[in-house]
Amino acid sequence: MKQLNRDRTTQICIAILSVLGLIVCISVLFPQIRSFIITLIGREQSMSQGVFKVLQSFAMGGICMILFVDYCTLTNSGRLLVNKVKQEIIDCLSETDFRSFLKPVLFMSGVYLLGIFTIIRANFSYLDDLDRSINDYQKWYFWSRYVSDFVSFFVHGDFKLTDISPLPQLLAVLILSVSSVLLVYVIGDKKITTIRLLASIPLGLSPYFLSCIAYKFDAPYMALSILLSIIPFLFITRKKAFLFCSVVSLLIMCMTYQAASGIYLLIVIILCFQDWNCRKRPDKEILSFIAMSAFAFCFAMLFFRFFLMKPAQPNLTHYATTEMFALPDMLSGIVRNIASYIMSIRQNFGITWKIGIVFVCIFFIIKSIHVSSRKKTLAFFVSILVICISFILAYGVYTFLILHVWIPRFFIGFGIFLAIMCIYVVSDYKKIAIVAVLALNWCLLVFSFSFGNALADQARYSEFRVGILLYDLNTLFFNQATESFSIQLENSIEYAPSIKNIAKHYPIIEELVPKRLGEGFFMDSQYYLAHFNYNQCKSVNGTPIDFRPLNLPVVLDSHYHTIKSDGSRILVILKH
């Protein structure tokens, strides 16, 4: 009787809270209420339209969530469904021996820690890091990464962020290690071996993810997006649990780092191919699994798109947008994005990596034919098709977005694609295939050392150049009558000689190592205005103001830069 009364009281409380929540969400849908909220939070009128859309989306999402929670808690069928899903999750967890993961996780932590050792030693403030360390902000919500904002509070112990490196990168190593072990566990039919673990190295040490782990602030949340994409497959033996965990994990992944959106589909493809090729499951069952996975993925992406995603900030639309191609341009836009994706990888990878990847693909095809229970010709063509589809799916939802630039961390799915291929090839197959995979992964490990050392070299060279520039500015304008002056930079500090040498063998290094100063990145001005405590000048980089047509007189010309100025406006031309 007491339990019945307690349940009834709980349901009444839920019903009351639901009614209040629905009233709030529905009221936000009215323009007058949204205008009041915008005024209350002090938004500019020019930004009100974007805030209107965000509030409307959040309100609609809130209504959907409240109705779903009400169904699960206030109806008999909903409670029955919740109990079934809960029991299936418990059953899957009880069938998994998590203690057997401990040694593999420690092993992979050692491998990844070795791989990023030079990155940690370089102590390089990578892109956003510099601005975050100076201005102590989060603001991942600009890109709808709400989970990153939330988790960062616990990592940093405050909403105001300070540089606590290498702790975030060490957390990223741990998350990547767990991800590698789970990927091997899922793809390798629950068999974890040292060779398979080593084959998973591209997951964390692919050149593209190195640009993620180089971040002192962002690294653990980017790594978390990979782990979240793998976790649902621990529940693959129970349909309801798998569907529920897939939707939840994919939604959280989208709120950590959307570039990982293709990983889930990659795992679905390889698992279905393995089952089809060896006839482990009937074709109908495989098709049913594909349909269920596709539904979970599409539902999560659409829910995120319409109810959780914020439009890109106007000042960042030159960098990337959150807009998809219009329907008439969808096909041509997708083809262009895929072509750019292929071209970027072709240009970034050196000949050694290309040869290694080709060998891995060849062994993938040969093994698929060798273990196949299907006709050999059919297995040959299907294995090639799987490679091509997986390669494209690795790019994730970015395939459908209007992108203006292609930066390395957009391609982190390619590292997972390589890891999946390598794990498949070394699983119970010939030694020559294992040698080819380990050779490729050794090259990736070696490159991670080169990357970390390149960051250190570039930091030393950049600070040398910035020091000379600030000395000259201070000498020329220290006694300036005006309190402050405006400065514009043309060109940027070039790469250090060592990086130019690395680029001959690893072209991607020039994509990974950021340049300092100049026109390339929107927060370059922070480098000399705040990081070096030079607050006398006001930067105009990133604004429509352009001093170059003014033909300012030259006040200093040196080996490293030319300074032009009329006393209040300064144009610095950096030399290569």
DSSP for 493-547? PPPPHHHHHHHHH-TTHHHHSPPPSSSSSTTHHHIIIIIT---SEEE-TTSS---
* pLDDT at residue 37 greater than cutoff 90: no
- Tell me phi and psi for residue 477, to 5 degrees: -120, 15
Q: pLDDT tens-digit profile of 415-450? A: 999 999 999 999 888 888 899 999 999 999 999 999
**Section 359-365 average pLDDT:** 94
For a pLDDT cut of 70, what percent of the chain falls above it? 87
**CA distances from residue 206 to 224, 269, 278, 329, 507 in whole angstroms, order as listed:** 16, 21, 30, 32, 14
- How high is the pLDDT of residue 54? 66
What confidence score (pLDDT) does residue 522 get? 46
Tell whether the model's pLDDT for residue 227 goes beyond 90: yes
The pLDDT tens digits of the residues spanning 474-530 come to 888 776 545 567 788 888 888 998 999 999 888 999 989 988 776 554 455 566 666
- For the cut 70, the answer to whether the pLDDT of residue 556 exceeds it is yes
pTM above 0.85, yes or no: yes
- pLDDT reported for residue 5: 66
Confidence tier at 119 by pLDDT (50, 70, 90): very high
pLDDT of residue 46: 43
Instruction: Give me the pLDDT at residue 71, please.
Output: 82
Q: Looking at residue 516, what is its pLDDT?
A: 79
- CA pseudo-torsion sign 55, 60, 65, 70: positive
Question: What does the pLDDT look like over 520-542, one tens digit per residue?
Answer: 544 555 666 667 777 666 665 55
Q: How much is the pLDDT for 13?
A: 85
Confidence of residue 192 (pLDDT cuts 50, 70, 90): very high
Looking at per-residue confidence, does 2 or 146 come out higher? 146
User: pLDDT band for position 104 (50/70/90)?
Assistant: very high
Which is more confidently placed, 310 or 465? 465
Mean pLDDT of the chain: 85
Q: What is the pLDDT of residues 193-218, one digit of tens each?
A: 999 999 999 999 999 999 999 999 99
- The pair of structure tokens assigned to 274 is 């393995």
Model pLDDT for residues 49-89, shown as the tens digit of each residue: 555 666 677 777 788 888 888 888 888 888 898 899 999 99
What's the token pair of residue 546?
A: 């352009």
pLDDT of residue 31: 65
Rounded mean pLDDT of 541-559?
80
Name which of 122, 207, 126 is nearest 516 in CA terms.
Answer: 126
pLDDT at 40 exceeding the cut of 70: no
Mean of pLDDT values over 115-129 = 91
pLDDT for 127 beyond 90: no
Nearest to 111 by CA among 438, 348, 349, 425: 438
Q: CA-CA distance, 419 to 197, in Å (whole number)? A: 10
Looking at per-residue confidence, does 482 or 412 come out higher? 412
Q: Which residue has the higher pLDDT, 544 or 522?
A: 544
Overall average pLDDT of the 7-35 stretch: 75
61 vs 387, which has greater pLDDT?
Answer: 387
Q: What is the mean pLDDT of residues 132-140?
A: 77
Mean pLDDT (whole number) for 141-157: 86
The contacts found for 231-234 with CB under 8 angstroms, 24 or more apart, are 231/182, 232/264, 232/296, 233/182, 233/186, 233/267, 233/271, 234/92, 234/93, 234/96, 234/182, 234/185, 234/186
Better-scored residue on pLDDT, 29 or 265: 265
pLDDT of 202: 96
